[in-house]
A = this chain, B = another copy of it.
Amino acid sequence: MHMPWQDYLDKEQSRFLDELIEFLSIPSISTIPAQKGEVRRAVEWVQNRLKRAGFRDVRILETGGHPVAYAQWLEAEGAPTILVYGHCDVQPVDPLSLWDSPPFQPTIRGGCIYARGASDMKTSVLTVMAACEAWLQGEGRLPINVKVLVEAEEEIGSPNLENFVLEHKDLLACDLVVSADSGQSDEGPTLPYGNRGLVGLQIDVTSAKTDLHSGTGGGIAPNANHELIRLLNSMRSEDGTIRVKGFYDSVAGLTSDEKARIAAGGDWVTEFAKYAGIKKIIGDPRFTPAERAVARPTLEVNGMWGGFQEDGIKTVIPSEAHAKVTCRLVPNQTPDEVYALLEAHIKSHASDAVSVNLTRLPGSALPYLLLLNHPGAKASIRALKRVYRGKEPIPTRSGGTVPFLGMMLQHLGVYTVSFGFSGDNENIHAPNEFFKLPNFPLGQRAFCALFEELARM
C-alpha cells in the first residue's frame, strides 16, 4: 500500500476540498460567548481530522478558555522534532451585509474559496493535516517527529497560550516550531524572519477631586489635560523619534546586509502612504522609511481622552486625563526594560501639581529575529524552492508583532519558522475573506517537502 506523498496528495484533492468546505462551515468565532460550542466543535473537528491523518496520539487539552487540539507522532528515532502551530478560531463577520455570500457557507468563485477563516487560517490548518496524512498514510511514516498544536483563541489575543505553554513544556518540547499562521506573496515565496516586539502602558492623570468650572478655577487650578499633553509631548519629537532617556541604548544597529535585505523589499512605503491617505511620511531621517517601519522602535499614543467630548461647549477644567501608549520594539530591547525607561521618564517629567498613575497594558512581546542561516530557515528555503520551481524565497521582516514567536523562544528555547500559504490581500478580518485555491495543494506539497528537508536539518 506504499504510495509516494506526491501521488497520495494528487489522489485525495477532491476529498480535501470537501473537508475544507466542512471545516469552513463551522462558525468558530472565539470572541462571541454564544459561539463557545461552535469553537469547541471546530477543535473537535481538528481532533478527528488529525486521527484520520494517521496520528494515534490525539488529544483535546483544556485551557482557561477555549480548548486546544494536540497530536504527536514521535516514531522517527534520531530525527528532529518539530511543533506545528495553527489556530481554528475565526474573527467575527459583521457587517454581514457586505458579504457577497454567507460567511459560513463556503462558496467557490474564480478559483477562490470565500468564507470567514478561509485565509486566516483554517485552510492552512487543513494543509498541514493533509500533508501529515500524505506521509503517514502514503509513505507509512513521517520523516521527522511531528507535534501539532491547534489553538482556538488566536483571534482574541491568545490569552491562555503562554500559561498553556508553561504548563506543558515537556509535552511541547521540540527542536523547531513551524507556524502555519503565515503567508506567501503572489510574486513568489517569502521567508518571514523578523517582527517587532511590543510594550504598552496607560497614563492616568488626576488634577482635582472633580471637574471644575473654568470660570472659578481658570488661572489657579491645574488641568489634567494640559499636564497629560506636556508629558506626552516630552516623550516624542516632531519627527517621531523618541525622547525617553535610554530608549535607544539597547537597540541593535543595522548591518549593511540587513539594510540591503530591507532595501530589496522595494519602496512599499510610498504605495502604503498613498493607500492610507498620508500627506507626508515622517520619521528619523538617518534611516530609510522601510528601515524605520520594520527595524526601528516606535512610540505611539494610540488613544487619549480627557474632559468634554460632546457637541457644543462646556467650560470645564477636567480633573482626569488618560492616554494609552505603546512602543514597537526591536532587538535587543525587552518589554520590561523599555517599560522601566518609560516609567522613569514620566515620573521625572510629571508636575507635582497632579497625580500620575501608570498601568502596564497586556500584550507585551519580545522582538523576534530568525537568523537566515538557522537550519530551520535553510530547510524552509529549500522546501519552498522545490515547490516554487527554483524561485528563491524573499526574506521579509515585518513591523508588526507576533507574541507567539518570542514566547516560544523564551519558554521552549526554540526558534520558529513561519511557513504558511495565505495569499496577498485575501480580506482577512474583513467581509468577503477568501483563499486562493491553487495555494491549497501547493501548500500541502510544500509541507511534505519541508518535513523531508527538516529530516536533513
B362 touching A313 by the CB < 8 A rule? Answer: yes
- Oligomeric state, in number of copies? 2
B399 touching A304 by the CB < 8 A rule? Answer: no
A390 an interface residue at 8 Å Cβ cutoff?
Answer: no
Q: Taking the nearest CB of chain B, how far is it from the CB of A171, in angstroms?
A: 29
B209 touching A277 by the CB < 8 A rule? Answer: yes
Closest 7 CB pairs of A and B: A215-B400, A209-B277, A219-B292, A303-B308, A303-B307, A218-B298, A280-B353
B301 touching A226 by the CB < 8 A rule? Answer: yes
A272 an interface residue at 8 Å Cβ cutoff?
Answer: yes
Complex CA–CA separation, A296 to B53 (angstroms)? 79
Interface string of A90-131 (1 = CB under 8 A from B): 000000000000000000000000000000000000000000
A240 an interface residue at 8 Å Cβ cutoff?
Answer: yes
Q: Among the listed B214, B220, B309, B355, which residue makes an inter-chain contact with A279, where contact means beta carbons less than 8 Å apart?
A: B355
Complex CA–CA separation, A184 to B221 (angstroms)? 25
* Chain A contact residues, CB within 8 Å of chain B: 196, 198, 200, 207-210, 212-223, 225-226, 229-230, 232-233, 236, 238, 240, 269, 272-273, 276-284, 289, 292-294, 296, 298, 300-309, 312-318, 321-324, 326, 328, 351-355, 361-363, 398-401
In chain B, what residue has the closest Cβ to A290?
Answer: B220
Given A221-B276, A233-B233, A278-B221: A214 in contact with B298 (beta carbons within 8 A): yes
A301 touching B236 by the CB < 8 A rule? Answer: no
Residues in B whose Cβ lies below 8 Å from that of A300: 214, 218, 223, 225-226, 315, 317
Q: Among the listed B219, B272, B292, B400, which residue makes an inter-chain contact with A298, where contact means beta carbons less than 8 Å apart?
A: B219
Residues in B whose Cβ lies below 8 Å from that of A353: 278-280, 282
A309 touching B303 by the CB < 8 A rule? Answer: yes
A361 touching B272 by the CB < 8 A rule? Answer: no
Q: Among the listed B217, B221, B279, B303, which residue makes an inter-chain contact with A225, where contact means beta carbons less than 8 Å apart?
A: B303
Complex CA–CA separation, A198 to B298 (angstroms)? 40
Residues in B whose Cβ lies below 8 Å from that of A272: 216-217, 220
Q: Among the listed B218, B269, B277, B312, which residue makes an inter-chain contact with A328, where contact means beta carbons less than 8 Å apart?
A: B218
Counting chain B CB atoms within 10 Å of each CB, the highest count among A214, A223, A296 belongs to: A214
B302 touching A207 by the CB < 8 A rule? Answer: no
B225 touching A301 by the CB < 8 A rule? Answer: yes
A276 touching B307 by the CB < 8 A rule? Answer: no
Q: Taking the nearest CB of chain B, how far is it from the CB of A329, in angstroms?
A: 11
B324 touching A303 by the CB < 8 A rule? Answer: no
In chain B, what residue has the closest Cβ to A241?
Answer: B219
Complex CA–CA separation, A273 to B400 (angstroms)? 47
Residues in B whose Cβ lies below 8 Å from that of A354: 279
